[in-house]
Amino acid sequence: MSDSSFISPSDLRAKFSSAMSLMYRNEVPAYGTLMDLVADVNDATLSSDKELADTLETTNGLERISDERHGAIRLGTEAELKLIRRAFQQMGMFPVGYYDLSVAGIPVHSTAFRPIEGEALSINPFRVFTSLLRLDLIEDQALKEEAENVLAERNIFSQRALELITEAEQQGGVLKENADEFIAEILKTFKWHPEANITHELYERLHKEHRLIADVVSFKGPHINHLTPRTLDIDQVQDLMPARDISPKAVIEGPPNRKCPILLRQTSFKALEEQVDFLDVKGGKHTARFGEIEQRGIALTPKGRALYDRLLNETRDKCTPAPDGSNAQEYVQVLEDTFSEFPDTWEGVRKDGLAYFHYTVSDPEKLGNDQTDLSFEALVDAGHIRFDPIIYEDFLPVSAAGIFQSNLGDKKAANIAHNSNQELFEAQLGASVLDEFAHYAALENNSKAQCGKLLNISN
C-alpha cells in the first residue's frame, strides 16, 4: 500500500479537534458564547498590535488563532487508558508528562496526549489532558468494589471504532477513505450521555466520597469535560465573560500577567448544572462540563520551574483565592508583587538559566572570519545568534487542580492520601511518558548545535 493511501496523523488530529469543537458547541451552548468572545478579543488585540499580528502571521498563520488547543477527559480503568492511548496514537498524540493530582485532594493521576514534533504542533497542536481515576486511594472498600463493578461493564469505544483502530495498527495508518468514519466513531466515545449508568442512590454515595468519582463512574463513557481555545489576552476575556452571561472562575490560574510570558495561564467559566436520568430517578442533576481558555509562554528549565513553584507557594501562603472571588483583586496584587522576583526580560530569563530558547544564526553572511573565534555566548551578545522562546506545550498540576476544583463545586479539598505514583501510571498506560524537561532541553540543544555547525564553532 502506498503511503499516500493514508491520511497523515496530523491531518487526522486536525479533523478530530474540529469535530470535537462542533460537537461540544452543540452540547454546551455557553461554550459557543466563550468561543465567540475569544475570537472577538483576539481580533481586537491583533488590530491594536500590528507587531504581534505580523509575528503570528509569519510563525503560525492567523486563521486558526482562536481554535482549541486542548480538551480533557477522565477515565475509569486501566483498560480504558490503554485503549485511549491506541486511538490517540493514530492521531499523532503521545503521552507527555505525569501529573499527580492527589496532592490537591483529587483522586486521579494524569498525562497529556499531544503532538511532539514542531511541525506536528504547528499543523494542529490539539492535546487531551487525560486523567485516570485512582480507586486505590478510596478507603471505603465496599464502595470501591461497587464502582469497579460498574466500570467493568462499560465499553467506551464502539465495536466499529475498535475495528478501525486495530486495522490502522495493522496497516500502519488510517486509510484516507476511512478518515471520516474513524473520526465519527472515535467522537462517540467523548459524547455526553444524559442517561446515567447507575441508580441515583449509588450516585449520591459516590458523590459523597468524591464528586469526581461520581462524574467518572455514573456515565457510559468519558464525556469531554471542557475544550480550551487560545486567547491573546486572557485578562480581557476573564473581565468580559460576565457581560456575555457566563460566569468566570474566581482567578486566572498560573503566573501573573508579564511582559515576558512564562508557562501557562488558564481560566474557565464555571460548570453548568445538567439534567441526568438515573436508572431509578428521572430528572436528577450533575455538574461537570465547562469551557476554558489558555495563554502560553516560555517553557521553564527545572531551575526556572523551582522558582515559579516557590513564588506561587509564597503567594498562596499569603493569600489563598476564595472560590467566590471575594479576594480576587488582593490575590492578583500579591501574585504580581511576589513574582517581581522573576526576571521579566528575555535576556534576564536567559542569563539566569530559567527557560529554554531556540537559537538561530541571525545573518551568517555578515560574520567575518575573525568573529567565528568568538564563543557561543559572545556571538549571542554580539547579536550574531538570536534567541526566541520555546513555548511551553504542557500543563501545571496546581493550575489543573484549581480548574478541577472550581468545576467540581469548590468544596474544600477532600482528604486523599498524597500518593504520587508514576510507575503505577505507566504500568496502567502500558508505556512510559515523555519527560517534558528532557524534551525541551533537547530542542534547545539541537538549535545550539545547528548554530555551531553553521558557524563552525563548538558550544
d(Cα 301, Cα 245) in Å, to the nearest integer? 39
Q: Which stretch in 9-17, 31-39, 392-400, 437-445 sits in contact with ligand OOG by CB under 6 A?
A: 392-400
CB nearer to ligand OOG: pick between 227 and 298:
227
Non-local CB neighbours of 56 within 8 Å, separated by 6+ positions: 46, 62, 65
Q: Does 399 bind ligand OOG (CB under 6 A)?
A: yes
d(Cα 320, Cα 88) in Å, to the nearest integer? 37
The site string for Ni ion over 26-65 (x = CB under 5 A, - otherwise) reads ----------------------------------------
User: What DSSP designation does 262 have?
Assistant: B
Q: Provide the minimum distance between the beta carbon of 87 and ligand OOG in the complex, in angstroms, as a whole number.
A: 18
Q: Does 17 bind ligand OOG (CB under 6 A)?
A: no
Q: Which stretch in 189-197, 272-280, 287-295, 298-306 sits in contact with Ni ion by CB under 5 A?
A: 287-295
CB atoms inside a 10 Å sphere around CB 250:
19
Helix, strand, or coil here: 128?
strand
Q: Does 269 bind ligand OOG (CB under 6 A)?
A: no
Phi, psi angle pair for 284, to nearest 5°? -80, 180
CB nearer to Ni ion: pick between 128 and 174:
128
Q: Provide the minimum distance between the beta carbon of 49 and ligand OOG in the complex, in angstroms, as a whole number.
A: 26
Q: Which stretch in 14-22, 66-74, 78-86, 279-287 sits in contact with Ni ion by CB under 5 A?
A: 66-74
Q: Does 405 bind ligand OOG (CB under 6 A)?
A: no
Q: Does 224 bind ligand OOG (CB under 6 A)?
A: no
**CA angle, 157 as apex, 156 and 163 as ends, to 5°?**
160
Q: How many angstroms separate the first and last alpha carbons of the chain?
A: 45
DSSP 76-123: --HHHHHHHHHHHHHTT-EEEEEEE-GGGT--EEEEEEE--SHHHHHH
Q: Which stretch in 69-77, 149-157, 164-172, 252-260 sits in contact with Ni ion by CB under 5 A?
A: 69-77
CB nearer to ligand OOG: pick between 225 and 238:
225
Q: Provide the minimum distance between the beta carbon of 249 and ligand OOG in the complex, in angstroms, as a whole number.
A: 12
Q: Which stretch in 28-36, 167-175, 182-190, 228-236 sits in contact with Ni ion by CB under 5 A?
A: 228-236
- Residue showing cell 448544572: 273
Helix, strand, or coil here: 276?
strand
Asked whether the beta carbons of 228 and 198 are under 8 A apart, the reply is no
Total site size for ligand OOG, rule CB under 6 A: 12
- Residues lying near Ni ion in the complex (CB under 5 A): 72, 228, 292
- Residues lying near ligand OOG in the complex (CB under 6 A): 72, 74, 129, 131, 225, 266, 292, 395, 399-400, 403-404
